Amino acid sequence: MSSAVSLYLDPQIRDWVLFPITLVMILVGILRHYIMILLQSPPKKLPREALREQRALTRSQVLRSTAANSPIPPTYYKSISRHLSDAYEAGTYLKDGPPREGDAPKPPPNPMTDPAAMDGMMAGMKTQMVMMVPQMVIMGWINFFFQGFVLIKLPFPLTLGFKSMLQRGIETTDMDVRWVSSLSWYFLNFFGLNGLYRLILGGDNSADSSRDMTASPFGAPAAAGAQDFGKLFKAEISNLEFSEGVYSWVGEGVEERVLRRYGKIPAV
């Protein structure tokens, strides 16, 4: 590296390229945040039966979580436990009521025909669009007008490994790595502005587009929609049986514990 500065940048580049790119990206991020707020549909209302089905498993989970030291006496525990496993067996909590004799097992719902799943997917697509379109436009803008521009010189030396990161779009082998090209400056902003957005818009903003690059619009609803509660309930029955095995009442031997604390009977 020579001690003499090998390259002079026109201050016009700073004023008319570097700052505008940064400013445009920040503004687009903020705009995106507000568009997302506008696009957000209110949380979907579940019918009562669906809610009940979704929460039915909590009952046995609550019961099981304290089974080893349960606050309720044996008769009560047993009756709740029996009642739950009977209900799970019979499918009382299922959204469509208990299955009738001779019903063919339902195929898993197809996300393309289920309107509920379709809604979720549309929401995902909308987010994706709001993210993709402005970024594509900005990238095209930079590529078209500022292709091959060198915008800024980093004030610290870097190894050659950063060349592909900092000088994208400039095909030179011997330029100092500290020079940053326009396209690279775009990518640095793209991934690095999240901290600034958090400062301006608060913690849970939706301005940062690098985050949902990875999220697929089809991923989330497919995973949530495919739950087969009938199967989950059947599996829970054996869990309940297991907990009944480890069950003990907290009142078991409580009189001895108390008496021992007060020295009425000798401590062990």
Partner 1 sequence: MSLSMSLEKLATFRTNNTRASQETFKNASLILKTAKQLGDDGWAVLEQLFLASVDIGRLEVADQCLKQLAERFPDSPRVDVLTGIRMEATESPDVALKYYTQQLNADPANGAIWKRKISVLRRSGKIEKAAEELTQLLDTFYTDVDGWLELADIYTTCNQYILALQALSHVLLLAPQNPFYVLQFAETAYTANDLPLALKTFLVVVDMCERDIDSPKHKPAVGISVRAWLGIKLCSRRLMINSTPSASNTPIPKSLNLIEELATERVLEVYSSQGTAARRGQAAEGKDVVVGWIGAR
Rounded alpha-carbon distances, angstroms, from residue 34 to 21, 38, 205, 211: 20, 6, 9, 17
C-alpha to C-alpha distance for 154 and 180, rounded to whole angstroms: 7
Ordered DSSP codes for 3-66: SS------HHHIIIIIHHHHHHHHHHHHHHHHHHHHHPPPPPPPPHHHHHHHHHHHHHHHHHHT
Residue 37: CB minimum distance to partner 1, A: 14
Residue 19: CB minimum distance to partner 1, A: 32
* Mask for 48-77, x = binds partner 1 (CB under 8 A): x--xx--xx-xx--xx--x---xxxxxxx-
In a 3-state reduction of DSSP, which class is residue 152? Answer: strand
Of 71-130, which residues contact partner 1 (CB under 8 A)? 71-76, 79-80
Are the CB atoms for 196 and 57 separated by under 8 Å? no
Dihedral angle sign, alpha carbons of residues 11, 17, 22, 23: positive
The yes or no reply on residue 256 touching partner 1 (CB under 8 A) is: yes
Considering the complex, state which of residue 17 and residue 56 has its C-beta at the smaller distance from partner 1: 56
Of 15-54, which residues contact partner 1 (CB under 8 A)? 42, 45-48, 51-52
Among 263, 266, 267, 268, binds partner 1 (CB under 8 A): 263
Of the candidate spans 124-132, 185-193, 228-236, 253-261, the one that interacts with partner 1 by CB under 8 A turns out to be 253-261
Contact residues for partner 1 (CB under 8 A)?
42, 45-48, 51-52, 55-56, 58-59, 62-63, 66, 70-76, 79-80, 250-251, 254-259, 261-265
